[in-house]
Structure 1
Amino acid sequence: MVEHERSVLDEAWGRIPHTRESQGDQGTFTQTRIERVITLIAGSGSLVLGAQAFAAALGSPDESADWHVPLMGAVFVPLVAMIVTCLIGRFTRVFAGIFAVAFVLTLSLWPLATADGPGPTPTQDPWVFYLVNVATFASIVAFPLTLQIAWTIATPILYGSVRLMQARGEGDYVVTVALDVSFALILGSVLLTLGWMYRSVAANVDQARADAVSSYASAAAAAAMERERVAVAALMHDSVLGALLAAERASTPRERTLAVSMAREALTRLANAEKDALEGSDEPVAASRLADEIEAAAGELGVRLRVNRQLEEGTPRVPGRVARALVLAALQAVANAVQHADARGLAVQLTGTATPGGVSVRVRDTGGGFDIGAIAPDRLGIRGSIHARLAAVGGRSEIDSHAGGTTVTLEWDSGDRW
């Protein structure tokens, strides 16, 4: 029995976490709260039983004087530490495990401590009896299930064994000790069962929650994939179809250069289709940067363009997606002017105001103009690349076309919600 007891003690001691990092991280909503409830109940119950045990220990006649104070220190110091940590909710497993091991060691030394004593009193239990189930509860807090079962069974049996050794085999104590052991076994089994049941329920609840979250994440991913498919389809109509139409109708070197640039832009946007809508960073940029990007993009179309900048001091910075939409819409207007008006009188003006804060881009040409209402449904250069693009970021677009030319106005105000 002694060798088995040592092996169990060694295993239990090895299970006690000795650092903050090694404490059990529940990591789940319900289990964490159940563990907190268990530690609070353990701390409160141990406080009551510990007070009874301490009161009984002060006048204990069982152990000799040389053993009395060391045994009390070995038991009550870790008990107080366990109660405090259970109530505050920190390092509970560490000190609960220390007390569970210390109490079993104290029981093992009880026959030596009482060898020179007057012998047990039939009508009075020793102070260690009040702590038998406290040690059981400590094992429930600190140890895994297998050691909890071992502590629930071994601690009362060990108590009964040392009490009979203290009584020196007198038969009058057998019934009393048997009743004490059976009471401790029944109460310990109830505590162990309740702890296991509540932890199992909490684990099942957390697993169900995790499954629900996983299912929702899968549904959200499927919905995102569908949105992406729709966005890519719209992108195909917007950019690729526009580039194909431009290539089909190109008859001059300038128009062919424009078609090549539109195709390059379409391929770039397709390559960026997996990024957020209206690809690019959303970091706000200075309004003057819009002019720089319009000039650079127009240069790729073979158009030497100088944007007229009229920016008031205090013009707000433009969110990245809005800036990208304004530049692309302006570039579409420039491409239309090149394709349909041969870039006659082409001019671009960027205006920025501080109050109310906002920016606007105007693209003008002096071509022959066109009838907006007569645009064919398959022509998406205006509907998709200008109107829809600006509307998507909370901006506004207006097209004024007559025999003297066409003006495309693109506006965004900093107070707009986009």
Structure 2
Amino acid sequence: MPHSRESRDDPGSFTQNRIERVLTIFVGPASLALGAQALVAAFGRADERDGWHLPLALGVFVPLAAMIVACAVGRFARVFTGLFAVVFMVALALWPVATAGGPPPSPLENPWIFYLINVATVAAVVAFPMSLQVVWTVAAPLLFGVVRLIQAGGRSEFFVPVALDVSFALILGSVLVTLVWMYRSIATHVDETRAQAVSSYAEAAATAATENERVAVAALMHDSVLGALLAAERASTPRERTLAVSMAREALTRLANAEKDALEGSDAPVDAAGLADDIEASARDFGVNLTVRRRLDDATPRVPGRVARALVLAAMQAVANAVQHAEARGLAVEVSGYADPGSVVVRVRDAGAGFDLDAIPADRLGIRGSIMARVTAVGGRSDIESGPSGTTVTLEWESGDRW
């Protein structure tokens, strides 16, 4: 349904505006049909005196034509429907004056103004609030009955025909008002329900965004701040102190950029050798001299930039855990690339005492958030094996997983 240029939709009146447009589209042709019938009757036998017929007809049909055009184009429909409803009631009130002294009426033939009673009713439905709609629906037929009996001089043969005409107009007008009220009520209910649904969705989206931000900040705090504090607390050798200083510097840098995406940057593909180089460079920033072993097939797929950054960050969290909890005993990192299936695997091993993954509290995010969740978020997989002989963290990404 086309938009009315008379107004613009807002989120709370989407259906109401379309119901109003449908109503005006219906009113235009219906009024045209009844108006044509009244116009034909107006060119026939005239009940008005000389000098009254033409002004009265023009005073009614000109606003009627303007109303039909306004309803068809969808502009100023309420203005012109309201104008016609008022003009018709004025013309109806002047009918006894216009017909006084004119030719005697026939009880079997209705005057041309009769055919416009329900047009005035539907015009009031478009233009006026509910209370005035009821007034017009009742007043227009009753006023016609009164003026028709006045025109007939109160003759008894007019009682039954006038009563039938009035009752017919009342019933038809009541049906029209009831139907429009029902459709408008349904539209209002639909818009209210839609607004509530949109509000609930927005609230749920805001809650989800807040939770995601909380998890991200918690992971950041663990990766950077808590890791630096733990490293500083446990530092007892120059090497450990150097690591703690590097971690603190990294923590300050990441906190300063906390509002930015942790995975921002170019998403240009990176080869597996470059991934190994990034791990070595990040380890040096932590004060760990690490040589990454490379086992790469010639056709190893290139890794998307976001995936590469996630694998590097997860690997560095595993390296930091090995330094903090295993004092870097047996620390080794290996990057493997396979052509079939196309995949890249990063393994971080240490020879520490190991740990029980299931015994780690839920609020500790070093492994769950900074390793497992981070790799899963980019379509990868992670596996942690730990025992008395050491811990192995395996990070895997296959080219067909997500990218």
The 1:370/1:193 distance shift into structure 2, 3 A limit, reads closer
The answer (yes or no) to whether the contact 1:291–1:350 under 8 Å persists in 2 is no
Describe how 1:81-230 pairs up with structure 2 within 5 A: 81=69, 84=72, 93=78, 96-104=81-89, 106-107=91-92, 117-156=102-141, 159-160=144-145, 163=148, 167=151, 170-172=153-155, 175=159, 180-181=165-166, 183-208=168-193, 210-211=195-196, 214=199, 218=203
More deviation in 38-47 or 50-59?
38-47
- Tell me the TM-score normalised to structure 2 length: 0.65
- The structural deviation recorded for 1:140 is 0.9
1:77 to 44, 47, 65: 65
- The structural deviation recorded for 1:393 is 2.2
Q: Secondary structure at the match of 1:171?
A: coil
Question: What count of residue pairs does the alignment treat as equivalent?
Answer: 383
- C-alpha root-mean-square deviation of aligned residues, in Å? 5.5
Describe how 1:6-405 pairs up with structure 2 within 5 A: 20-22=5-7, 27-28=12-13, 31=16, 34-35=19-20, 38-39=23-24, 42=27, 45-46=30-31, 48-63=33-48, 64=50, 66-67=54-55, 70-71=58-59, 73-74=61-62, 76-78=64-66, 80-81=68-69, 84=72, 93=78, 96-104=81-89, 106-107=91-92, 117-156=102-141, 159-160=144-145, 163=148, 167=151, 170-172=153-155, 175=159, 180-181=165-166, 183-208=168-193, 210-211=195-196, 214=199, 218=203, 241-263=226-248, 265=250, 279-281=262-264, 284-287=267-270, 297=282, 300-302=285-287, 318=304, 320=306, 322-332=307-317, 335=320, 360=344, 370-371=350-351, 374-375=354-355, 377=357, 385-396=370-381
Paired with 2:124 and 2:169, the residues of 1 have a C-alpha distance of: 14
**1:117-165, CA deviations, whole angstroms, 9 ceiling, x for partnerless residues?**
5353333211221111111112212332243234334434554565567
- Tell me the TM-score normalised to structure 1 length: 0.63
The answer (yes or no) to whether the contact 2:141–2:170 under 8 Å persists in 1 is yes
Q: Tell me which amino acid in the other structure corresponds to 1:78.
A: A
Q: Which runs of 5+ in 1 are unaligned?
A: 1-18
The answer (yes or no) to whether the contact 1:78–1:98 under 8 Å persists in 2 is no
Q: Secondary structure at the match of 1:374?
A: coil
Q: Tell me which amino acid in the other structure corresponds to 2:134.
A: I
Q: Which runs of 5+ in 2 are unaligned?
A: none
**1:201-240, CA deviations, whole angstroms, 9 ceiling, x for partnerless residues?**
5434543554466456656655666666666666666655
- The structural deviation recorded for 1:58 is 3.6
- The structural deviation recorded for 1:410 is 4.8
Paired with 1:133 and 1:224, the residues of 2 have a C-alpha distance of: 56
Paired with 1:103 and 1:316, the residues of 2 have a C-alpha distance of: 80
Paired with 1:78 and 1:180, the residues of 2 have a C-alpha distance of: 27
The 1:245/1:100 distance shift into structure 2, 3 A limit, reads same
Identity %: 59
The 1:139/1:285 distance shift into structure 2, 3 A limit, reads farther
Q: Tell me which amino acid in the other structure corresponds to 2:237.
A: T
- The structural deviation recorded for 1:260 is 3.7
Paired with 1:24 and 1:381, the residues of 2 have a C-alpha distance of: 49
Q: Secondary structure at the match of 1:412?
A: strand
